[in-house]
Amino acid sequence: MANTIDQAFIKQFETEVHMAYQRMGSKLRNTVRTTNVTGSSARFQKIGAGSASTKSRNGMVTPMELAHTYVEATMADFYAAEYIDKLDELKININERQAVAQSAAAALGRKTDEILITAMDAGANGTQVNSAAAAVEKADMLTLFELFGTNDVPEDGQRYIAMHPKGFADLFNITEFASSDFVGPQNLPFAGGMTMKEFLGFKIFSTSAVTAGKNFAYHTSAVGLGINADVQTEINYVAEKVSHLATSMMSMGAIAIDSNGIYELLDNN
């Protein structure tokens, strides 16, 4: 065989494109109160707690005088766009439009989580659990349970804790969280993969949307997300640039509705 045979070798190029590791969409959206909005802001109504009283026979009842208040979330528009040159598409064997559209939609999903975390950070209860100098322990989880119970936050399966992976990892040092003796083999934190696990009535999940050192415990009804326009993607041809413009867009806004249903759970980052 000729020594120059290597000049006739061919190369095979993979058609599937690898997307850089990234959080693919929102993890918090389905855990909060949402409403569709027509307008520039969403108003979430609040009504105070009432108390019962007695009355004498034939006497007048005492009205509760429930206080009505509201909070407003201002809608903000977000875009994720990319140009795809028409002639460049002739030189590649990957579906660039599909990859760009997928990446743009994921970026808006992450922006949704950012909006929600910002709202919770601004509207959380002033009482912080644990400190930035210590890992999350069982005592901290019990404190959260006590705070929610004291504030009459419903135990209705809608209590959540969004944790940074570092904080979530701390939970594995809690025997009652990680041992089948307490939670049973079907509810072990590693059964079926690292998804959402329940402990002390909280649905706990790990997400990089949360800043290291500050996790958030909240009830669904304590956080509001107004959706002016949900995530949508369109691809248009722009003649002046001889390119296709892939654009994903959305309009949303978030607000803390009740600080008694949102707490910061700190840990050493």
- Give the CATH number of the domain where residue 133 resides: 3.30.2400.10
Q: What is the pTM of this model?
A: 0.81
Q: Is residue 214 part of a domain?
A: yes
Q: Is residue 261 part of a domain?
A: yes
Highest mean pLDDT among 11-15, 30-34, 97-101: 30-34
For 87-105, letters b (16+ CB in 10 Å) and e give: eeeeeeeeebeebbbbbbb
Digit-coded pLDDT (tens) for 52-64: 888 888 888 888 7
Digit-coded pLDDT (tens) for 159-193: 999 999 989 989 888 888 877 666 656 555 444 44
What's the Cα-to-Cα distance from 185 to each of 170, 179, 189, 197, rounded to whole Å?
A: 20, 8, 9, 13
Q: What is the mean pLDDT of residues 243-249?
A: 87
Count of structural domains within the chain: 1
User: The domain containing residue 252 runs over which residues?
Assistant: 29-49+62-266
For 144-183, letters b (16+ CB in 10 Å) and e give: bbebbeebebeeeebbbbbbbebbbebbeebeebbeeeeb
- Cα gap 19→100, rounded to integer Å: 9
Digit-coded pLDDT (tens) for 204-214: 999 989 988 89
pLDDT of residue 198: 85
Q: Is residue 170 part of a domain?
A: yes
Among all chains, which residue has been given the structure tokens 């959080």?
23
Q: Do residues 168 and 162 touch, judged by C-beta distance below 8 A?
A: no
